[in-house]
Structure 1
């Protein structure tokens, strides 16, 4: 018999007198058939010591029925546990020699009374202290690592190990900050006693019934419910969107608090048996966890597919990925493999649905055939919508790399070097994903090219292309796309914008520039000067009238354009005007030839590209500064 176990048989200690009723039998007496056997002496003595306390707390008696042993006196509760353990050992020892002994029946009857008491106590502690044993409190009590590494407290060491805590908790337990720890310790004392004495099933049933209801109720309160495929299929998107938002919050709370806290409590209370811990936690958490992790699969398989809904699917995919380590750690038992499998299945189904939605977005771009012309060559709504969509997708680049990792990107040959810097993608941390985004933007640019052909004014078509490509580049530069497409890509697009601008200037303003002499200071006859002024007036007025309808939403592009055009026209015109104005002014019949002063030309050019004042152009994506009308323009 273990040394510690001998302490329960304190009558056998040499400290007791060697004569009288408590004197231990001699060896000859133990072997004598006329005297009680050693096991009978043990059972007699143990019954004599345990019966008063066990019967005192018989739950069927009037007083004990309405009181709580652990609440009334934790010191006595521990003594009760100690007595029950001693009785069980003595009963087991005696049963090996005489299974039909009356004393054995009496001891078994006491054991049944004790177990009924402990079942009652166990139920009361779990029920009354739900607030102190809620998963959030458990998550804050301790980490599972620190708890699980604690060795099981021997039933014979309870009083020695816990005297200090019992003394603190005895009369003023409400003042103890870690009340939850004390409650957990009481639960563990009871579970270890009941499981060691053969009452594991009774203990587990009480524990599972109460704790499972807490998990199931918490999952429901978090807004997650079990839905059928037909329910999801018929559900309006607004309702489904709210349910997905609830689910996203629920996953975080469930993994960080709910299941984590429950696992901590289960690991602590049933620390003495891995099998019991597994059975307990699995049965408590399985239904709630399966409801939680089956939801994304049902949504992915049965909700109506559309490109704009992909972001909710990506949110769910991201949430599972971010909590995957917690899922594996919390549901690590073999019996919980079905939970891990369900979470993985949802991840796979979400990935498939996301790939489908992205393919539909690509198809919708390819099929876009609107011939609508944007007034003033402004930003097309297709570009705004498509870029907003692509930018949001880029924010999910981490998970998209996993989702699209096995998808074949467009071949390099299908991405023209004039559009994209292929080398940049090879150096990207996710080259396949970079190709995917490059391909989407290329489709968009090709659509812009086809839309530009609907402009009758070719100069306006080039301005339309410059405006829209500038919008795309700005959006790329200000988003995560910058890292996916690379600096070289942006540089190439900047070069294309410059070409579009030069073509616009050449087609829209060349006749104005050509109306002025190459050498404005050259000697000319009054008639020649007069013809040049007339030619300039006509060409400038015509160009300004046409180009004043144009809009350039990007302020930098707008300023660059105005400066570039002004530099090509204003200095030459000013020199010509200053050189020859006197000759025209002196001829009273020719004074009307000068319509524009140089400052008028400057003002008119500076107020270009805001669109017509009366139009309130909806294509502008930037606010337009105030404008003034030159005094000479009628």
Structure 2
């Protein structure tokens, strides 16, 4: 590097020094500068920067006899171009901020520098002369120009980046349910009913955003073309990647996607993880379908003429952020298999299935292999997690043990949980069938291996993997309920409990999307099962009591007096037994109003008819003073049964 002679050197250096000292002294005493003074100082600063830059210009090689005429002309042109370039490079102001005229002048100078370098390269072929030294100087000038273009390119990208506003993007959704997921235990009365499917939407509107202001795209493309044609494609690409990688990371921040490790996910409580999953499902779709798609277009707009580099720029800029998103999905896929996670995992699986073609398209070349591969692996692991969690759900039903009978013999929490759980899973019918397609071949999930129903159950309703597994789950549930019924000491309450729960199961199937899956024959069969339990309950409760109102044995009672005593004793025993039933069974609960009414009516018909017949037949043998209740009284008392609030008939005897 050497000095550069100015075109009009100072004839007296002492004059310049004296003037400089005068300026310094004036600045020391003058605290406030006028507008004109500020302007002249700015002009002075520019001149000083220019002169400093000229000093750093690669040393000029003076023409010599050994240099050809053509090389001499190139050298003179190179000196001129070099001066123009160094004046701009030395200025701290960004060239593209100065205006189109300065920008155009600089680009012309750089282009001329590139052309001069190419001419020298052709001239220096198979030569070892002073032209080679001139070529080295030309390369130095061109490198300096390229370094500045690289900074300018990145500066334009950053300064003209458009804000990303995800709240302005809309999704079309065919789903109407807003859902929440919360940690639920098998003993929670609201079990299963607190899960609903998120209305995350199934189709994203076509949105391509201008991530960088459209007005500067021609300038960026011009710079890229100039740098690429000068052999500086790597530097230009890196400037793009640096700018856009930071922008993509900011996008994830705006979408509120946290950077979580697998350890973070595994330690996270379900409530927090549930929120993170919902945010992830919402964010990844917008990120891929909107932001990445827009990023791909931006890369195409700038580097469209350089296909291999174009793909590299997009992939290198976006790969890290995509991998970050996928790593969260992977962490959830390998986490524990609680049943409450199943809905969220399916949500994640579905959104990955939806964006998988987009990922494959945008990362289609060899450089994108790792992204495509990771997306596929996360999708596969999420599918495995769905199957494993589904199996764990059935195992949880089978192993759900109780040490105490369920109060009141009503619908058990487990029954509500299971039936509401599988009803909500029907929203994911297509996805579940896809995931479980090969599950029927696995022994651990084979419905025929653990079904307590007849084999005909598997031939009813919809024929699909999900239908088979749902019926297997209800069979497992019925077995568990049968075991729970044995905790009751009262046989009538055992049947009452089973009646309540089987009725709930059958009604949940009948009046929901489960009907098509289970089929009408299954519903009829289980209606018959709950009706059988109702009959068993009535027999266990009332058979021995109503036998007191029969005339069996009265013929052998002897005298009329003995007959009256037997009748009075039987009537007294009936009242005692009825009052005991009333006391107990008012505390038993039937929550379904239709079932409650049907069982009360059925009980009334049997009890009141038998009582009215007995009293009417023996009205002459039994005095009114022994009649505690009328038939209407009994009917009213029966209306109190199954309300879940225990009552007593003490002190209610009719006077």
After TM superposition, give the deviation of residue 145 of structure 1 in Å.
Answer: 11
SS of the residue aligned with 1:610? Answer: coil
Deviation string, structure 1 residues 287-329 (Cα, Å, up to 9, x no partner)? 222222123323433x344444444434433332233233223
Aligned partners of 1:419, 1:629: CA distance in 2, in Å? 52
The residue number in structure 1 matching 2:228 is: 195
1:359 aligns with 2:385: no
Q: Please report the TM-score for the alignment, with normalisation by the length of structure 1.
A: 0.71
Q: Report if the CA contact (8 A) 2:84-2:106 is conserved.
A: no
The residue number in structure 2 matching 1:29 is: none
After TM superposition, give the deviation of residue 81 of structure 1 in Å.
Answer: 4.2
Q: Report if the CA contact (8 A) 1:139-1:261 is conserved.
A: no
One of 225, 248, 269 as aligned partner of 2:259: 225
The residue number in structure 2 matching 1:130 is: 161
Deviation string, structure 1 residues 243-283 (Cα, Å, up to 9, x no partner)? 54554344234323443332222122111111111111121
1:562 aligns with 2:600: yes
Change (3 A) 1:363 1:56: closer
Deviation string, structure 1 residues 150-209 (Cα, Å, up to 9, x no partner)? xxxxxxxxxxxxxxxxxxxxxxxxxxx998211233222221222123221221121112
The residue number in structure 2 matching 1:66 is: 93
1:206 aligns with 2:239: yes
Aligned partners of 1:58, 1:482: CA distance in 2, in Å? 81
Unaligned runs of 5+ in 2: 1-67, 126-130, 171-203, 552-559
Change (3 A) 1:113 1:446: closer
The residue number in structure 1 matching 2:476 is: 443
1:215 aligns with 2:248: yes
The residue number in structure 1 matching 2:366 is: 334
Change (3 A) 1:206 1:40: same
Q: Report if the CA contact (8 A) 1:135-1:260 is conserved.
A: no
Q: Report if the CA contact (8 A) 2:451-2:476 is conserved.
A: no
Change (3 A) 1:633 1:400: farther
Aligned partners of 2:166, 2:378: CA distance in 1, in Å? 26
One of 609, 617, 629 as aligned partner of 1:596: 629
Q: Report if the CA contact (8 A) 1:54-1:110 is conserved.
A: no
Q: Report if the CA contact (8 A) 1:373-1:451 is conserved.
A: yes
One of 460, 472, 475 as aligned partner of 1:424: 460
5 Å-filtered alignment, 1:245-264, equals 245-264=278-297
One of 501, 504, 510 as aligned partner of 1:471: 504
Deviation string, structure 1 residues 129-166 (Cα, Å, up to 9, x no partner)? 2345x5969999xx999999xxxxxxxxxxxxxxxxxx
The residue number in structure 1 matching 2:451 is: 415
The residue number in structure 1 matching 2:405 is: 373
Aligned partners of 1:337, 1:144: CA distance in 2, in Å? 28
Calculate the aligned-residue CA RMSD, in Å: 4.4
Change (3 A) 1:545 1:243: closer
One of 321, 325, 328 as aligned partner of 2:357: 325
Change (3 A) 1:54 1:139: farther
Which stretch has the larger CA shift, 486-495 or 460-469? Answer: 486-495
1:289 aligns with 2:322: yes
One of 115, 118, 141 as aligned partner of 1:92: 118
After TM superposition, give the deviation of residue 610 of structure 1 in Å.
Answer: 0.7
Deviation string, structure 1 residues 347-398 (Cα, Å, up to 9, x no partner)? 2333334433333333333334434222332223332344444445454443
After TM superposition, give the deviation of residue 440 of structure 1 in Å.
Answer: 1.6
Aligned partners of 1:375, 1:145: CA distance in 2, in Å? 56
1:115 aligns with 2:115: no
The residue number in structure 2 matching 1:508 is: 541
After TM superposition, give the deviation of residue 343 of structure 1 in Å.
Answer: 1.8
Deviation string, structure 1 residues 5-60 (Cα, Å, up to 9, x no partner)? xxxxxxxxxxxxxxxxxxxxxxxxxxxxxx977x998x699x59x95798178433
Aligned partners of 1:144, 1:443: CA distance in 2, in Å? 44
Q: Report if the CA contact (8 A) 1:570-1:601 is conserved.
A: yes
Aligned residues: 534
One of 433, 437, 450 as aligned partner of 1:405: 437
Q: Report if the CA contact (8 A) 2:162-2:212 is conserved.
A: no
Q: Report if the CA contact (8 A) 1:516-1:536 is conserved.
A: yes
The residue number in structure 2 matching 1:452 is: 485
Aligned partners of 1:239, 1:480: CA distance in 2, in Å? 31
Unaligned runs of 5+ in 1: 1-34, 149-176, 519-524, 616-627
After TM superposition, give the deviation of residue 466 of structure 1 in Å.
Answer: 0.7
After TM superposition, give the deviation of residue 467 of structure 1 in Å.
Answer: 0.5
Deviation string, structure 1 residues 403-425 (Cα, Å, up to 9, x no partner)? 33222342547535548632235
Aligned partners of 1:139, 1:201: CA distance in 2, in Å? 35
Deviation string, structure 1 residues 550-578 (Cα, Å, up to 9, x no partner)? 2212211111111222233445655776x
